[in-house]
Every structure is written in C-alpha cells, then in structure tokens.
Structure 1
Amino acid sequence: MITPPTFAFLRELKANNNRDWFNTHKPRYQTAHKEFKAFANTLQDEVSHHDEIENLKLFRIYRDVRFSKDKSPYKPHFSGGMVRATKWRRGGYYFHLSPGGSFAGGGFWGPNTDDLKRIRTEIAHHAEDMREVLQHPDIQTHFNGLEGDQLKTAPRGFPKDHPAIDLLRYKQFLLTHTFTDEEVMAAGFVQKLSGVFKAMRPFFDYMSEVLTTDENGVPIE
C-alpha cells in the first residue's frame, strides 16, 4: 500500500523543494521510496496477469534543471512506467502518484516518424475503426477520450477538410485516469490501478495491429 506518511512527505517536499530540507528529511524519503518500489513491483506482478511486461522503470526524484526555468531540484511525486513485451505488443503504461494529482496513463507519448505516419494513414483510410475503439465500454468507463498534443492544422500530406481531421491532428495518443488521494491510500489500490491498465487493452490491441502491419494488413517482419 501507499501509506499516509509517504503522501505527507511528498506534500511537504512540494512546499520545501530545496536541498537543505531534502537532506534533513532524507530518511523519510528513503522509507517512502522503499514503499513505492515495493508497490511498483506488486503492480508489475498484477499487470502480468493480463499482459506481458518487458520491463519496469522507476523514475528518479531528482530533476534535471539544466535547461529548465524551474530550478526546483526534486519532483514532488513518485512515478514509473512499464513497457509491453515483444515488438507485437506496442504501447506502454505510466503511473504517477502525488497528493492531489495521481493518475494512470498509457499509450504512445512520442511515436517516431514512421509510426506516426502509419497511424495517420490508417486513420485516414479507416477512421471508423479508431472511433469504434474509443467507444468501447472499457474505454468509455475509465477514460475521458483520446488525449495528447495536437497540431493546430492538418499534418503534411492530409487535407484540412478530411472527415477525420480531429484524429489526424494528434501527435500523441494517450489515455489517462485520475485517482483521489483516498483511492491511492486505500487497500486494494494496486489491483484498481492494474484494472485501469487492463481497460486500455482495446486501444492497445488496435494500435498494435496497426503498427505491426503494412497498409494492406500484412504483418511486418
């Protein structure tokens, strides 16, 4: 479980985001991080019941401030991600725990040029398939529709008046679900979070099929 002392530490870190405070309270950080790491390992086990995971990555609490106007040295949250296994299972999971801002996310944060072109080509020819996926009961129940950065106009090579221009403008393809602090610190949260990830499967299955086949539906070796 994620316990109240862990969220108390993160809340106080946000209000005292400096090295002196952090060093003074480092034993609290180490205890909280150990708890988060155990939570993440349990989450990976839970997700492995319904998907194959290649690896689990926990992100460092230390911020890279070299190119940022915000010089706060620490992230006031714990976060991690999981990559789905093999080239046939595309997409990844992300979990972010912070007081007042916890959420689960999944999808395609930064598709490369070839993948983005393949996704857009598929949408241009068969937008109804993507729209059907987004209307799936699991997607409708757990998420607020497709999210991600978008172009302000049509992508190169696609007409501005294309019937699916609302989908073609996306540069990222993401699903997110938020949690209250009470949910995060309740018994059974790790199973609830795993269930949210499982609800992404219709979207992942569709995108995986698109990204592992050519425009004729032939698997890419």
Structure 2
Amino acid sequence: MDFKNLITFLEELNKNNNKEWMDAHRKWYHSVRDEFIDWLDVLNTHLLKVYDAYYDTPGKKGINRINNNLLYHPNRPIYKDHFGAGLDKRPNTGDFYIEIGLEESMFAGGLWRPDPKRLASIRDAIDYNGEELKAILEKPSFRKTFGGLVEDVTLTRPPKGFSDDHPHIDLLKQKTFAVMVKFDNEELFQPNFNEKVFEIYREMLPFRAYLNQAISV
C-alpha cells in the first residue's frame, strides 16, 4: 500500500474540498481507493486465517464512504479528511475500525453511545460479570496500548436499577464503551506496519468480544 500517495491525495483534497476538484481528479481518487481496498483485503485474509470467530469482511464491504453525511451535519466539508473502514464487521456488533488520516491515524473498537437497548444489555453484563471487563481494561498491555475507555459523558447518578455502592458503578455510569489508539503517520511507512495492525487487533479482541457477547444475548 502506497500510504504516501494516499496522504498526498488527502492533503490536496483538504485544500480543494469541492466537487469540481474531485471530479477533475476522480481517476486519482479511484486508484487510491482501490489500493486501500486491496490493503484491507490483505488484513482481512490474515485475520480470517488466524481467528476462528473472525467475520469475513472484504475491503469493498469494510470501506466507508469518503463523502460526509451532510443531511445530519450540513456544516461539514463535502469530503472527509481520511479513509476509514471497519473489519470483523459482523452485523449489529462493534467492528475493528481503521482510519488513515491527514496527520495522524487511529484504530478503534467498541460501541460509541449505544442505543438504550444495547446500553441496558451491556450494563446487565457488567452487573452479572463486571470483573471480566474490569480485568480486560486493567491488563497492563491493554492499558499501555489504549490507556482506558474513550472519555465521554457519563451519568452523574447511578442508572435506574443500580445503587451507588455497586462494585462496578464507575463502569455502569458510562455511556460509551470504546477504546482507541492514535499514532503518527510516520508509522504507516514502516515495513512492519501490518504487524502493528494485527497486534492492536489482538489486544482489542477480548474487549470487543465482551461487548459483542453482551449485546447479542
């Protein structure tokens, strides 16, 4: 994958974020997009071989649109400043998210502000076996990689049905259950970058599996 070409494309798009420029450079965009899809296919093939429970997600299925959703966010630019994709994208579960951006990139996974039904399921899982999630979050290698849960708004009072002295009240008050790791784009150009992807996937997997099991019950 020629990440330098991808970053250069994003830099030019960021300076000319309009349909006229995109139409004039449509061939360049498609060549970058196709190569990104091919790279996702390489990752997908490897993960499919290594993990029995991995959900086959070819690059064309995993890649996100580069167009922003202007219906709900009319003030955003027409086009995003990154290429994004989700692998291990089993329907109705949290995937393994990859984003290659202008100055930094990221991996993420989990559930961002899940709907009330899913949130209730996660809280039920924490009530039943919060020690497992706590052990995942406190594992030294996990903390070194992700730091902890993504910071987001939390409840000021215990959720309905739970008391303030619950042993896992801090987790129960969370509205977002997601982790991420950002990295400088210089890492994209290292020969072992794919190995970094696989290491982060492996480290994140127990966390994602816990959440996905909770919302699948």
Question: Structure 2 length normalisation: TM-score?
Answer: 0.84
Moved more, 98-107 or 24-33: 24-33
Find the counterpart in structure 2 of residue 216 from structure 1: none
Following the alignment from structure 1 to structure 2, what is the Cα–Cα distance between the partners of residues 110 and 54?
Answer: 25
User: What is the CA deviation profile of residues 155-209 of structure 1, one whole-angstrom value per residue up to 9, with x for unaligned ones?
Assistant: 2333345443321122221111112111113223223112211111222343345
Match of 2:198, SS? helix
Decide which of 185, 190, 201 is 2:189's aligned counterpart.
Answer: 185
Contact 2:44 2:56 in 1 (8 A): no
> Which ranges in structure 2 are unaligned for 5 or more consecutive residues?
none
Q: Measured at CA, do residues 161 and 11 of structure 1 come closer, stay the same or move farther in structure 2, by a change above 3 Å?
A: farther
Distance (whole Å) between structure 2 residues aligned to residue 75 and residue 84 of structure 1: 21
Q: Residues of 1 paired with 2:151 and 2:47: CA distance?
A: 24
Q: Secondary structure at the match of 1:199?
A: helix
Using the TM superposition, name which of 192-201 and 140-149 deviates more: 140-149
Aligned pairs (5 A) from 1:128-207: 128-147=131-150, 149-154=152-157, 155-160=159-164, 162-207=166-211
Q: Secondary structure at the match of 2:103?
A: coil
| One-letter amino acid of the counterpart of residue 24, structure 1 | A
Post-superposition shift, 1:36? 0.7
Larger RCO (CA within 8 A; separation ≥ 6) = 1
Gaps of 5+ in 1: 213-219
Task: Using the TM superposition, give the Cα deviation of residue 101 of structure 1 relative to its aligned residue in structure 2, in angstroms.
Answer: 2.6
In the aligned structure 2, how far is the partner of 1:182 from the partner of 1:37? Answer: 21
What is residue 45 of structure 1 aligned with on the other side? 45
After superposition, the C-alpha distances for 1:34-66 in whole angstroms (9 at most, x for unaligned) are 111111111111222333124342111112212
- Name the one with the larger helix percent: 2
Residues 187 and 65 (structure 1 numbering): CA distance in 2 closer, same or farther, change over 3 Å? same
Amino acid at match of 2:32: A
Which of 125, 146, 155 is the equivalent residue of 1:122? 125
Q: Which residue of 1 aligns with 2:69?
A: 64
Is the alpha carbon distance of 1:111 and 1:71 closer, same or farther for their aligned partners in structure 2, counting shifts above 3 Å? closer
* Counterpart residue type for residue 122 of structure 1: A
Deviation at 1:148, TM superposition (A): 5.4
- Which residue of structure 2 lines up, in the alignment, with residue 36 of structure 1? 36
Number of residue pairs matched by the alignment? 211
Task: Compute the displacement of 1:32 (Å).
Answer: 1.1
> Partners in 2 of 1:208 and 1:65 — Cα distance?
30
TM-score by length of structure 1 reads 0.82
RMSD over equivalenced CA pairs, Å: 2.5
How much has 1:84 moved relative to structure 2?
5.1
